[in-house]
Structure 1
Amino acid sequence: MRVVVAGATGRIGSRTVARLRDHGVEAVPVSRHHGVDVLTGDGLSEALRGAEVLVDVTDAPARTEGAGLHFFRTATTNLLAAAVAAGVEHHVVLSAVGADLLWSDYFRAKLLQEDMVRNSPVPHSVVRSTPFFESIEVMVERNTFADEVRVAPVLVRPVSTEDVAVTVAHVAVGLPLFGLGEVAGPEVRRLDELASEVVTAREDGRVVVPDPRARYFGAELRERTLLPGEGARLGHMAFAEWLGRPVVPANGRVS
């Protein structure tokens, strides 16, 4: 089986390639580093030649207003056209839990991406993930005002990028879902409590303030918006385990 992974240099993409190769799958990494640009389409036809499966774990490089919509509309258009031309039999795309409920540029863009994949002639699977552990740390930075971090006290099942990659790889080698699957972490926690644990672990003196009006990457949250539905695949790594690992500087990206 030949599986092309678009976005292969990101946190999820690199791990997905590794997990596929662990199981003897021919995983072909695709990114600008590999001479393929999903925004211009350069190199896509060659990369997808002979591929049975296309996995899209790309992410918008900027979080400015409109950037997400532009990226996902353009990249998905190019990926779908190349997939159809190459005769790809299964298109797997990574999205976010709450994409249909949250109103911000990023989540609207993810929903657009999902809709484009659903409406294409290529058999598809959409894997929605709850927030990555790393996104909690990025959120802390974005929601800091002076020495306070304002975070909505809502429920969430944060998940490790490794657990997400395992799920994406598993879906990629299976039959198309023709719908949604979800992956989440093993624990139900409160978002503000997780933020407090990050601040405490980093020992930077900031105080987390629960604020129902605080936004999550531009979106207003409700109590259960970030929780998956029943039947979600649950990962194994706990937030505390990840938090105890060496610090990786936040780069401002969700994934």
Structure 2
Amino acid sequence: MRIAVAGGTGWVGRKVVEAVRAAGDVPVVLARSTGVDLTTGAGLDAALDGCATVIDVSNVVTTGRRKSVAFFDAATTRLLTAGARAGVAHHIALSIVGCDRVGLGYYMGKRRQEELVLSAAVPHTVLRATQFHEFAAQMLVRRGPVVAAPRMRSQPIAAREVADALVTLAGAAPAGLAPDLAGPEVLEMDDMVRRLARARGDRRLLVPVRLPGAAGRALTGGALLPAADGPRGRQTFADWLTTPDARAEGR
């Protein structure tokens, strides 16, 4: 089976492509580097020809509402429209646990993506996942003598387990909004960043930062934790710290 992976060159996308291949299917990467522009639709019809399933893990790097909403609105609309023309039987989108409860600009774009997918005629599934273990690595990418780490409670999961879950969904019937996917334990993000820095020998000063207002209260109060039972990953953050992913991601 040919499975299109939108954003297949990103952190999660690369792992989804690997999981598709491991399952014996053929990944078709949708990215600018492969001649496909999700926001304009360029190259999309040709790439989706013969694809039975789309797994959308595309992303935009921004914290702003306008840019996030614009990207996810355009990319999701193009994917769904082209998918309908191509006869795609299952559109799967990755979203974020708690994006409907936290008023951050980036999450507004994810809400728009969910709205479009869940109201689409193409059979669909939306999987919300918690922050990845790899999210801690993003905090260490920034240069300088000080590392700012967000104050937030999370139930982190390995990106590889999220990728595997998405490919498993590709082999199942469309489920609408699927149960939340989360990791095996609740942790504080600033502590995760500190532990990763220590494991890498990064001796910079780490400063926990709480976002102001309602969003900050929501992040520290557990709004990004799953609100109901659902599937749970097995790899703990401590276990992840011993893997090649922990040494490589974000560098």
Using structure 2 for the length normalisation, give the TM-score.
0.87
How many correspondences in the alignment? 245
1:171 is aligned to 169
Identify if the C-alpha distance between structure 1 residues 148 and 243 changes in structure 2 by more than 3 Å, giving closer, same or farther: same
1:240 is aligned to 238
2:48 is aligned to 48
1:42-91 alpha-carbon deviations (Å, 9 max, x no partner): 1111111222211111011x315322122111111111110111121111
1:83-140 alpha-carbon deviations (Å, 9 max, x no partner): 1111211110011111101112210100100001111111110011111112123235
2:80 alignment partner, SS class? helix
2:26 is aligned to 26
1:142-186 alpha-carbon deviations (Å, 9 max, x no partner): 7x996464542x431111110010001001111000223322212
Distance 1:32 1:148 in 2: 31
Aligned 8 A contact 1:130 1:184 in 2: yes
Distance 1:179 1:19 in 2: 22
Aligned 8 A contact 1:147 1:205 in 2: no
2:211 corresponds to 1:214: yes
Aligned 8 A contact 2:127 2:181 in 1: yes
Aligned 8 A contact 1:148 1:208 in 2: yes
Identity of aligned residues (%): 36
Identify if the C-alpha distance between structure 1 residues 108 and 64 changes in structure 2 by more than 3 Å, giving closer, same or farther: closer
Letter in 2 for 1:204: D
2:227 alignment partner, SS class? coil
Distance 2:188 2:224 in 1: 10
2:128 alignment partner, SS class? strand
- Greater share of helix: 2
Using structure 1 for the length normalisation, give the TM-score.
0.86
1:184 alignment partner, SS class? coil
Aligned 8 A contact 1:6 1:57 in 2: yes
Identify if the C-alpha distance between structure 1 residues 42 and 117 changes in structure 2 by more than 3 Å, giving closer, same or farther: same
Letter in 1 for 2:39: L
Distance 2:146 2:52 in 1: 51
* 1:47-196 pair list within 5 angstroms: 47-60=47-60, 62-63=61-62, 65=64, 66-139=66-139, 147=146, 149-152=148-151, 154-196=152-194
